Structure 1
Amino acid sequence: MKKYAVIVAGGSGLRMGTAVPKQFLDLQGKPVLWHTLTSFLDAFPDLEIILVLPQAHVETGLDIIHSTYDPQRIWITTGGETRFHSVKNGLDHIHHHSVVFVHDGVRCLVTPELIRKCYEAALEKGNATPAIAAVDTIRIETVSGNEMVDRNKVRIIQTPQTFYSDIIKAAFEQDYDSDFTDEASVVERLGVKIHLVEGESTNLKITRPLDILIAEKILEEREME
């Protein structure tokens, strides 16, 4: 079956406190985004990548693509006003029945193994979203203050969120809603049951300067295995 990855890389770098958007920051001598693209290229030899970037950063994106070992499998489209609109722009380029991965461009430590796990689960269930258990105590705010919830029932959601193309493309025909915080929430609005698979604790999202240091250490340890 055909496979596409829509990789959304629209970050600005504000929380990183840098002038360079976080997807282009250096990580072991390569941009963060290069590591993300390489993991998907490694996962399947027939997977094609649709990279969604802000218009202002298309040239930088092209340079990164051409530095990968298989640039012919990657092409660029531009993003929209929100993540929802950016993902929709990427999905508009998919015209075959396929399995579609949607991934945060700054989750650069995702492994090919997790990508393949999501693919197999999506083939069976129609969709797959990686998630990990919460390890901290969780409290939620209520009208009367706050209260603790059972962390054993809490899951922290990751990407790649993976779907049959007909499911996710139909979901993104809906009007935008601010409650759509990820692709699973969009698909769920159609009444589709979301299936979770075990994610990876190392599949972190580069958001703050500390994350770069953690990512460097994880990559160093992987090289020693």
Structure 2
Amino acid sequence: MKFFVAGIFGFMGLMLSCSGAVFAAEGDVAKRVVLDSNKVSIDTDKAILVRTASTPRSIKVYMNIPFGRTYCSRYETRTVWGPDSSCGYYTECNLVCSNYCQVWNSHGGCVAWGQECYNRCHEYMNSCYHPQVYCAETGVAYKEKQASFKLTFKKASRLGPNEEETFEVIGSQKTVDGRDDVYTLRALDTKTRYLIKNSWFFGDWVSVKGNQ
């Protein structure tokens, strides 16, 4: 189970003249996605989420996130000392003995013991200098995977027909070779101050709570 919490506050007036510059800068790297249904699909790992008066309280957001896997990009051969099949084999035996009763009395007790022994043998590889192939350099190959999180708005500000609030979301792989995905959400242009929390509980959740 993973648990990741991050608190972020964001507040900007909708009528600020600098808001247009913010969108121009973000527009180069992230697309605007209007939250107008209970399910939203985004074909990238970064987007500008647009909340309007018709945005539902809870939305399932799907994103395409690149997941990295480590692979060996270059192999080399070196000479090492140690056991290997190319060195041949030798056999080592140990004498194993066990006792057994030869004569029992009328009361069920043993009055004469005997012993039987046998050789227990194992085959081992000899040690010698031999070539060994090893990974001299690694790389990371990326493949897109669809992942999702649930976005909820609590005590969000009331918006008029032509008003909107914007948030930036970034989805990423938690660690290379890992299977977990994490999300970062921050407020860009909002009417009120929001507390944003990321958590895991039967799936990824991002909660946006207004300070009203």
TM-score (norm 2): 0.20
**Larger radius of gyration between Structure 1 and Structure 2:** 2
TM-score, with length taken from structure 1: 0.19
- Higher normalized strand content (fraction of residues): 2
Structure with more of its chain in helix, by fraction: 1
Using CA pairs below 8 Å that are at least 6 residues apart, which structure has the higher relative contact order? 2
